[in-house]
């Protein structure tokens, strides 16, 4: 059925399928800009967490583990965090979300928000633990906590945006 598509249509389909990955990379870059807003730097929300959670539940085939790994890698490179930290945490999040997607799919919004909250808390604890082991000291947890709260608070807005984007990505069937 795809044999008579024009090159433009094929490129269009590919671009639509790449949307989740582009969102993730875009958010990493946006999160690295100097906003000169007081105290924002250390607590800028972990948008990639939202990206990975949302798409792992909604359309896992659009964000394969390799893409998640790359996004985490890119994030660590730009932020200067220990390389491998974000990849590890994001892959864990993906694994959990894909496993539990039946719990969330087609349910009320607040259920997936609560699920995100739980996963974000877990992700924050795991990253804090890894960073502490890596640096050989207990890393100050204040900023991690604030970042967690901001990330959970911003989830509805981002997931609304993703839901809108999801509608324009064709299903493979």
Partner 1 sequence: MRSTGDRVARIPLSFKVAGQRVTLMILLVLSAAFLIIGKANPPLMEGLRTTVIEGTSPVLEVLSRPVSALNYLVTESRNLLTLHEENRRLKEENAHLQQWQMVARRLEQEASGFRDLLNIKDDPKSSFTSARVIGDTGGPFVHTLLMNAGHSDGVRKGQAVVNGDGLIGRVVETGTGSSRIILLTDLNSRVPVLIEKSRYRAALTGDNTEYPQLSYLPLNGKATLGDRIVTSGHGGLLPPGLPVGVVRSVEAGNVRVQLYVDRDQVEFVSAINFDRFHPFDDQPINSTVEQTKSPTDEKGAKS
Q: Which is nearer to partner 1, 70 or 165 (CB)?
A: 70
Least separation in angstroms between residue 69's CB and partner 1 is 4
> Cα dist. 47→10, 30, 31, 99 in Å?
29, 10, 8, 21
Tokens of 46: 């972990």
Should residue 44 be labelled a site residue for partner 1 when binding is judged by CB under 8 A? Answer: yes
- Which of 44, 32, 42, 52 shows the shortest CA–CA distance to 141? 42
How many CB atoms are located within 10 Å of the residue 6 CB? 8
Least separation in angstroms between residue 108's CB and partner 1 is 22
Supply the angle between the helices 85-99 and 47-58 in degrees, to the nearest 10: 30
Should residue 29 be labelled a site residue for partner 1 when binding is judged by CB under 8 A? Answer: yes
Q: Which is nearer to partner 1, 114 or 140 (CB)?
A: 140
Among 135, 157, 160, 161, the residue binding partner 1 under the rule CB under 8 A is 135
Should residue 22 be labelled a site residue for partner 1 when binding is judged by CB under 8 A? Answer: no
For residues 152 and 120, the answer to whether their CB atoms sit within 8 Å is yes
Among 7, 34, 106, 170, the residue binding partner 1 under the rule CB under 8 A is 34
How far is the C-alpha of 141 from the C-alpha of 94, rounded, in Å? 24
Query: What residues line the site for partner 1 (CB under 8 A)?
Result: 29-44, 60-61, 64-66, 68-69, 72-74, 77-85, 87-88, 91-92, 94-95, 127, 130-131, 134-135, 137, 139-140, 142-144, 146-147, 173
């Amino acid at each position: 059925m795809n044999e008579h598509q024009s090159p433009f249509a094929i490129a269009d389909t590919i671009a639509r399928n790449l949307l989740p990955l582009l969102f993730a990379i875009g958010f990493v870059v946006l999160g690295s800009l100097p906003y000169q807003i007081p105290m924002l730097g250390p607590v800028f929300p972990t948008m990639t967490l939202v990206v990975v959670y949302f798409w792992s539940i909604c359309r896992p085939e659009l964000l394969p583990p390799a893409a998640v790994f790359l996004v985490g890698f890119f994030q660590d490179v730009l932020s200067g965090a220990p390389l491998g930290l974000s990849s590890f945490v994001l892959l864990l999040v993906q694994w959990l979300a894909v496993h539990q997607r039946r719990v969330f799919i087609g349910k009320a919004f607040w259920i997936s928000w609560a699920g995100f909250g739980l996963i974000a808390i877990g992700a924050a604890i795991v990253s804090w633990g890894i960073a502490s082991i890596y640096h050989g000291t207990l890393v100050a947890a204040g900023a991690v906590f604030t970042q967690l709260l901001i990330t959970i608070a911003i989830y509805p807005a981002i997931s609304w945006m993703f839901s809108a984007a999801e509608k324009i990505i064709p299903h493979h069937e």
